[in-house]
Amino acid sequence: MTPFILREYLENIITSSLNEFIRSHANADKLDAGTIYPAIIKTTKAAQFGDYQVNGILPLAKTLGVVPRDLAQEFATFFAAKHALEFAKVEVAGPGFINLFLNDAWLAKLTPGIANLGTSLKTSTPRTIVVDYSAPNIAKEMHVGHLRTTIIGDSLVRVLEFFGHKVIKANHIGDWGTQFGMLMAYMEEVEKDPAAANVSIHDLDGFYRAAKARFDADEAFQTYARSLVVKLQAGDEHYLAKWRQLVDITMSQNNRTYKRLGVLLTDDDIMGESLYNPYLPGVVQDALDQGVATVDQGAVVAHLSEFKNKDGEDLGVILRKSDGGYLYATTDLAAMKFRVEHFKAQQIIYCTDSRQANHFAQIEIIARRLGYVPESTTITHAGFGMMLGTDGKPFKSRSGSVVRLGDLLDEAVERTTNLLNERNSDVTGDERQALVEALAYGAVKYADLSKNRATDYIFDWDRMISFEGNTAPYMQYSYARIRSILRRFALPADPQVQITNEHERNLVLKLQEFADVLTKVENQLMPHLICAYLYELSSTFNSFYEHVNVAKTEDAALQASRINLINYTAQVIALGLDLLGIKVVERM
Ligand code: ARG
């Protein structure tokens, strides 16, 4: 078997050697019978200490009652003999650390495996995973708050699919609720007399504001709007069609934004709140029947001892209001049940801002009590922080209003266009347009994805559109640079790689880390790890290229090796960016 995840492979062979070694030690009777003692490896800070350091010998020596350095020396000799293939040198350092020096020839041989990561990293235990993300609200513009959920969710979907999981993209749009009465009543008025209304339904925010103003000002209008809610709830066909019209107009606008952002969501992924409407009475009934909720002043409430309200009492989650209305929480309960029953979800990942963490924790508790979610299904809240302006306050437009996503993307395009003009890029025509878009949307997405999602992040135009630093343009530039080099050579038939100097070696080692990084992202759902890695890879490549002249390499086999090496680098950058939902370009 080829060791595709280098760190994992090394940890495995060291652990198994270590355990084999200590079990035959003279003092082995002092060890715990059933325990496997793990070897932990750390990457070292300087080349003189080798590539990795093994920790864990010191506590073992204590257990065995021997001098740590002696134990380290004995194990080093044992291990070096067993794994001469992988390690050129195994050295004892300090009080009992072991420094490991990888064997260049072995390392070089692994490198072509990079080209097959898509196959080699496929999981042997695929799971069915629902990712709940984006979820804009109908009859409203998408605003910057939806940017994070949309692109973080998109990246998680891409990574999980890459590993071979069955991923269900659930766009839990806000397409149900009493506000539709108001909107439909106002729609009728506008349709009757468009000139007087002076607002188009296609201007979602404007339309919503006008409808709300009309609603707040006129009691007769309110009564009429409420009557439409009742009709809609009862399945009146005429009003269902009107409702659908509102959903379609909003979503076709949102689809344009999705397309610009290059996210995978389509209309097929819409599973909005309305989908669960028929199940809400059943959820409330289940909760009452099973004693998970009780009637409290006419409302149906689930009391949770795990959460306290501000008076220190058990928190009450309302499932049905005293007027019979259902809530956001009720819908999420029904959705959780549906996802387990209908999709056989083994994991549900919610990608919303961190302020909803408690909401999902509460829903999970109630859903498990109701038996909606089996123990084997995990519920994960992949929460994220807020988007802040350079002043450290929530990101707003210059006039102080919430920034519409469409406007933000327009600005990104404008700024990138100016920057490219300054740089005198000679890319023209359609390719120029594609380049501007790849850079502009890439920059916005990368700026967000490169920060640990759990923290707030500062939206800073100048930094994100820069060609320097941990930015999309820098990564895209590195890729284009390699591609322009590769266009001068034919790709070698033999995928071999040789290590003849430290620059080649550093690049090979960095490439090998990619599989390890991806597995971490799969488990921790943290896309920023990909960005941090790509930044290191690009820097390693740039320093390689400063020192190694591929064109002037005379030895044909060595030149082929170097061409292969930079080709693998380009492939890894492209794959990394693709998993972030960012496009590469061939020329800049
Ligand atoms: N529509 C909500 C919003 O815009 C987000 C919904 C998140 N998903 C969920 N299952 N509650 O804030």
Query: What gap in Å lies between CA 91 and CA 83, rounded to an integer?
Result: 13
ipTM of this model?
Answer: 0.98
The alpha carbon of 16 and the centre of ligand 1 are apart by a number of angstroms equal to 47
273 Cβ closer than 6 Å to some ligand 1 atom: no
How does pLDDT run across 407-450, given as a tens digit for each residue?
999 999 999 999 999 988 889 999 999 999 999 999 999 999 99
Strand 299-308 and strand 87-93: the pairing is: unpaired
> Residue 512 half-sphere exposure, CB side, CA atoms within 13 Å?
26
The alpha carbon of 353 and the centre of ligand 1 are apart by a number of angstroms equal to 9
332 Cβ closer than 6 Å to some ligand 1 atom: yes
H helical segments located in 234-264 = 237-261
Ranges of beta strands (E only) in 153-274 are 166-170
pLDDT (0 to 100) of residue 371: 98
Helix (H, G, I), strand (E, B) or coil at 297: coil
Query: What gap in Å lies between CA 537 and CA 570, rounded to an integer?
Result: 10
CATH number of this structure's domain 6-102: 3.30.1360.70
Residue 73, class by beta-carbon neighbours within 10 Å (0-12 exposed, 13-18 middle, 19+ buried)?
middle
Output the CA angle 398-401-404, nearest 5 degrees.
95
The alpha carbon of 146 and the centre of ligand 1 are apart by a number of angstroms equal to 9
Dump the DSSP string for 362-374: HHHHHHHHTTSS-
The alpha carbon of 347 and the centre of ligand 1 are apart by a number of angstroms equal to 18
Minimum-distance ligand 1 atom for the alpha carbon of 352 = 7
The alpha carbon of 259 and the centre of ligand 1 are apart by a number of angstroms equal to 21
Which residue's alpha carbon is nearest to atom 6 within ligand 1? 135
Multiple choice CATH, 433-580, 1.10.3720.10, 3.40.120.10, 1.10.730.10, 3.60.110.10? 1.10.730.10
Query: What gap in Å lies between CA 336 and CA 286, rounded to an integer?
Result: 14
Which residues lie below 8 Å from residue 425, measured CB to CB, with a gap of 6+? 432, 435, 588
Q: Which two tokens stand for residue 439?
A: 């850079």
Which residue's alpha carbon is nearest to atom 9 within ligand 1? 172
Residue 318 phi, psi (nearest 5): -80, 125
Beta partners for residue 54, in sequence order: 41, 98
Query: What gap in Å lies between CA 302 and CA 579, rounded to an integer?
Result: 40
137 Cβ closer than 6 Å to some ligand 1 atom: yes
Query: What gap in Å lies between CA 261 and CA 447, rounded to an integer?
Result: 13
- Is the CB of residue 301 less than 8 Å from the CB of residue 294? yes
Domain ranges of the chain: 6-102, 178-263, 433-580
pLDDT (0 to 100) of residue 132: 98
Q: Which two tokens stand for residue 269?
A: 């992924």
How does pLDDT run across 77-94, given as a tens digit for each residue?
999 999 999 999 999 999
pLDDT (0 to 100) of residue 400: 81
H helical segments located in 37-114 = 57-64, 68-82, 104-110
pLDDT (0 to 100) of residue 1: 41
Query: What gap in Å lies between CA 477 and CA 16, rounded to an integer?
Result: 43
> Residue 414 half-sphere exposure, CB side, CA atoms within 13 Å?
7
The residues of the chain scoring below 50 in pLDDT are 1
Minimum-distance ligand 1 atom for the alpha carbon of 353 = 12
174 Cβ closer than 6 Å to some ligand 1 atom: yes
pLDDT (0 to 100) of residue 342: 98
- Is the CB of residue 385 less than 8 Å from the CB of residue 454? yes
The alpha carbon of 336 and the centre of ligand 1 are apart by a number of angstroms equal to 13
pLDDT (0 to 100) of residue 197: 80
